[in-house]
Each structure stands twice: as C-alpha cells, then as structure tokens.
Structure 1
Amino acid sequence: MTNPHSTLPLDGRVAIVTGVSRRQGIGFAVARDLLAAGARVLAHSWAPADAEQPWGADPAGIDGVLSELGGTGPRLAHLAADLADPAAPARVVAHAVDTFGAVDVLVVNHARSSYQTLAEVTADELDLSWAVNTRAGVLLTQAFAAAHDDARPGGRVVLFTSGQHLAPMSGELPYAISKGAIHQMTLSLSDALADRGITVNAVNPGPVDTGWADEELTRRVGRALPAGRWGRPEDVARLVRWLVSDDAAWITGQVINSEGGFRRWVM
C-alpha cells in the first residue's frame, strides 16, 4: 500500500507497462518515469515485433533495456509475451500479481505498425493488427479489472491511440483502423469501471521521435511542429505519469491529444 510519509507520488503502486523493448521507445520512457515516481513496474516486451520492422530490435537486447531501467529485482520485473496470442494478456497481468502481490496501473503502450494502403491491405494483416493493437488492449483491461483490489487506491488504465481521428492515415490502414477502435472503446471501458474507482483514458502522443522515421519524414513533420522538434518519449511519459497519479483521479473516458500544436496542414 502507499506509504503516507513518502514524497514519491506512486510509492507502493504496481504498474504494468506493455511494449518496453527499445530504449528509444515510449514504453521505456514510461517505465523509467513510473519507477522514478516510486512505482514497482512489470515491463512487458516482445522483441521479435521490433526485429521485423525497419528500425529493428534494440542492439543491446532486452537485457540492455532492463539494465538501463535499473535491472530486475524488487521494483522491476519483466515478461516477454506475444500479445497476438489471446492467452498472453492474462499471463502478463498474472505475472505482475504473482511478482508484486497486486496491480494498480495498466499502461497499454505496445503496438503493431503496419504500412498497407487500400490496394495492398490483406485480411491476414488486418486480423493481426486487430489482435495485437485492439483485442490485446481489451483483454489486458479485462484481466487487470479482474485482478485489481478496489480497496487499493489509484486504479488506472491508460491506452494509446494515434491521431487517426484528426487526419487520414491511408498509407497504414491496418494500424489506423485498429488504433481507431482503441479511441472508440475508451469511453465504454471507462464506464464499465467507473463505479469501481478505476479510470480509463487514452493518449494520442502525436509524432514522437523513437527512431522510426526516415530523414525526409523527420524534416517534413518537423516543419509542422511549432516547437521545431518532434515529440520526445519523455513528453509522453510525463503525461502518463500524471494520468496514473492521484492528481488525475477525476479524469476518465478521455482521449488526450498531446501533440505540441502539430499542424497537419503544413505537411
């Protein structure tokens, strides 16, 4: 339970963060921030998903990622799981409870990126993107809700969407469609858990520099950001840390666009 004498806002809380597989990634930044705020963290990863993308897996491997988070031990645990497997979400939540005795916070950060146009899109890719991005998010939330002790403070779920509600993403249809479903399910999931004091919100982080964009896209998107830079993983992590803190207890069912004033029309 929370230590009333601690100055750390998440002292005593247990958090699951999915998609912690690259040191440049949002999941890594979120896990690091929650640890710094006093939480114990189960970091989920699935490095093969990164390995098949242009940016590749972290060169230091998952051991290097965990080492930079302080190493596994009393406050950090790790589980690798392919969230395309419908049984995996329950395993992730169970591992957090088995390791730390409870679970208070769920950050559904993982995602499958998929670049297919209407002419290219396949049923297999649609199904896989749905399974990883959307179905796993619902099943993680279901397992979290079943495991959560409502006598503990600070029940929080944070989902991730991707700005597809603000502008078209016709070059990555499976991704955009599955992320759009996350946007739409946020309000209904929040209603399902509101009476238990568990909040559910989603974050659209906007363009974030995690090493995935090529030079031309980096330049073009940069022109559309008033600050003259892309978002950074730590920008997202600060918002997530606030959403899972006591300060955000009155915020639920919201999709928050955290894009630094991104002007799509400039692109």
Structure 2
Amino acid sequence: MPRIPHPHPESLRRDPLPLRGRTALVTGASRRGGIGYAVARRLAAYGASVYLHHHVPHDASQPWGADPEGPEAVAAGVRAALADPDARVCHGPGDLSDAAAPARLIAEAAEALGGRIDVLVANHARSGADGRLLEIDAEMLDSHWAVDTRSVILLIQEYARLRAALPPRTPGGRVMMMTSGQDIAGGMPTELAYALAKGALASATRSLATELSALAVTVNTVNPGPVDTDYMDGDDYQAIAGMFPSGRWGMPDDPARLIAWLATDESEWITGQVIDSEGGFRR
C-alpha cells in the first residue's frame, strides 16, 4: 500500500463551513439551556441542516421544567445560527421509551432533511426515578435502560440502514453518544440505574465503531462532566464549581464544541473512543 503524502498546504486551511451540505439529527434538543441545543447551534454554524428531536413531557416533569416558549423557540435559536443559506432546521417530537419510536424518528428526520442523515448525536437521556443500590427497583432499571440505552442502539441501527443505502464509503458519517462519569473515581452510586445504562453505551462504543467502519462511519462517545443546564443552584452549585480548576462549571457549549468538531472531516481518524470533556473536574 502506498504511503499517504503530507497534505498540500492549500488543504491545511480550515473551511469555515466544514459541514456545508451535510445533515444532522440531534436528540434531546428541547430546551435552550441544554447540551442538545448548544450542539445543534454549533452544527448549524458549521453549515449543516439540523433536525431537532424533543420530548417536552419529560422536561415538564422535571424541576427545571420545559422551555417556556416551546420547541419552536428552540428551533428558532438554532436557525439564527445557520451559516449556509441553503441549510434548514426542522424539529419533531418522540417518546424514545417506546421501542418503535427510534425507527419513526430516523424516518421522519431523514425525510425532513432530504433523505439522508450524516451526523447522529444521541444526546437524550432520562432524568429522575433513580437511587442507590438499596433504593432502585426493576421499574427504575427498565425505564433507564429503555431510554438511555435501548433507544440509542435502535437509533443507530436505523441510521446504519440509511447509510448502507448510500454509495459505498460516502463521507461524513458520524455517530456521537453521550455517557457520564460512571467509570471515573467514585462513580455514580446515587444514580445507579442511570449509571448502568450510560455505562453500557460507553462499553459498546468500540464494538459499534467496528461494526460501522465498513460504512465509513465513525462512532465516539463523549462524557461532558457536570454541565450547567439549569438544574442546580445555591451552595451545591458553588461546591461543584470549586471542583473545577477553572472555578466554573462546564457550560453547554463546552461539550458542543467537541461534538461539532467530531462531526467534521478533521476527526475522521478518531473512532471507537470514549472522550472525557470535563475541564479537569476533580471528584
């Protein structure tokens, strides 16, 4: 096999719109305070068309509540970041605890984006209904598994079927999953159901990367660490901030910058990795 030469200097100059002409589905993008929204804005600013998935009833049931202006306001904020005049932003609901929902979501997103999905960012997760070992029960375990793990694998399965229908080695295929700090330091003993479900995604990353490599799709998982998505305040907030060398929490745009870069061609040699993006957080 011939050696690949060093790139021509012209190709080293960064394209300001590295995702021009590409499409992305971002799940769990229902609040402007969340990571999904920040990721979608970054992808739009890089030139992509974006489909936003949301499940408003989940947020409405949580202490932080749903976005007060609803999904259309979230989509409008992403549209404001669009850099390619030919790109578009669409959105739609989906309860991913339903085993049939991932296939529907992929089909709806692909139709809205012109028949193709290049980038899949599985950002959604179930919050609440969790506890320590002696507090959890079968219902808690099953509900977290259904949303945090099963739905992600089913989304990737349908995404892979879409990519398999494209010409061989079509560039731009990217899958990003989200995990948490369950494998670091003391783990997450107070959120065991969530930690188990997210840990399964981290463990599956390399296997999925190998499986999708034939389709020229990279698969990586990001642990964003503690991110300020409006779920904590007061003394607890300040205590967590003190665990970062910078003295501040992660903001949604911190992991979003990494995820957006992983969506570009610059990241094509990175696959099968679980990447901690948590600002030196010290547990």
Q: Is the shorter-chain TM-score for this pair beyond 0.5, marking a shared fold? A: yes
Deviation at 1:74, TM superposition (A): 5.5
Q: Which residue of 1 aligns with 2:98?
A: 85
1:189 and 1:113 map into 2 onto residues whose CA distance is 25
Q: Given that residues 71 and 91 in structure 2 are in contact (C-alpha distance below 8 angstroms), is that contact kept between their aligned partners in structure 1?
A: no
TM-score normalised over the length of structure 2: 0.88
Deviation at 1:151, TM superposition (A): 4.8
**Counterpart check, 1:161 vs 2:179:** yes
1:62-116 deviation line (CA, Å, top 9, x unaligned): 1221222228996111110000011111111111221222111100000112331
2:157 and 2:92 map into 1 onto residues whose CA distance is 19
**Counterpart check, 1:135 vs 2:150:** yes
Q: Which residue of 2 aligns with 1:209?
A: 228
Q: Which runs of structure 2 are paired with 1:89-104 in the superposition (5 Å)? A: 89-100=102-113, 101-104=115-118
2:235 and 2:196 map into 1 onto residues whose CA distance is 25
Deviation at 1:214, TM superposition (A): 3.4
1:181 and 1:7 map into 2 onto residues whose CA distance is 36
Which of 120, 126, 133 is the matching residue for 1:106? 120
Cα RMSD (Å): 1.6
1:167-188 deviation line (CA, Å, top 9, x unaligned): 3211111111111111101111
1:28-50 deviation line (CA, Å, top 9, x unaligned): 00001101100001100001111
Q: Which residue of 2 aligns with 1:48?
A: 57
Q: Given that residues 104 and 152 in structure 1 are in contact (C-alpha distance below 8 angstroms), is that contact kept between their aligned partners in structure 2?
A: no
Unpaired segments ≥5 residues, structure 2: 1-14
**Counterpart check, 1:248 vs 2:262:** no
2:63 and 2:253 map into 1 onto residues whose CA distance is 23
2:203 and 2:118 map into 1 onto residues whose CA distance is 23
Letter in 1 for 2:27: T
Which of 104, 112, 124 is the matching residue for 2:139? 124
Secondary structure of the 1:69 match is: helix
2:203 and 2:142 map into 1 onto residues whose CA distance is 18
Secondary structure of the 1:41 match is: strand
Deviation at 1:165, TM superposition (A): 0.4
2:58 and 2:176 map into 1 onto residues whose CA distance is 21
Q: Note closer, same or farther for the CA distance 1:186–1:113 as it changes in structure 2 (3 Å cut).
A: same
2:141 and 2:233 map into 1 onto residues whose CA distance is 25
Secondary structure of the 1:194 match is: helix
Q: Which residue of 2 aligns with 1:75?
A: 88
1:92 and 1:250 map into 2 onto residues whose CA distance is 29
1:254 and 1:201 map into 2 onto residues whose CA distance is 5
Point out the more displaced range, 142-151 or 13-22.
142-151
TM-score normalised over the length of structure 1: 0.93
Q: Which residue of 2 aligns with 1:224?
A: 243
Point out the more displaced range, 10-19 or 98-107.
98-107
Secondary structure of the 2:127 match is: coil
1:136 and 1:205 map into 2 onto residues whose CA distance is 20
Q: Given that residues 17 and 106 in structure 1 are in contact (C-alpha distance below 8 angstroms), is that contact kept between their aligned partners in structure 2?
A: yes
Deviation at 1:220, TM superposition (A): 1.3
Residue identity (%): 51
2:214 and 2:280 map into 1 onto residues whose CA distance is 34
Letter in 2 for 1:113: S
Q: Given that residues 9 and 37 in structure 1 are in contact (C-alpha distance below 8 angstroms), is that contact kept between their aligned partners in structure 2?
A: yes
2:87 and 2:93 map into 1 onto residues whose CA distance is 18
Which of 194, 219, 239 is the matching residue for 2:258? 239
1:122 and 1:79 map into 2 onto residues whose CA distance is 32
State how many pairs are aligned.
259
Unpaired segments ≥5 residues, structure 1: 1-5
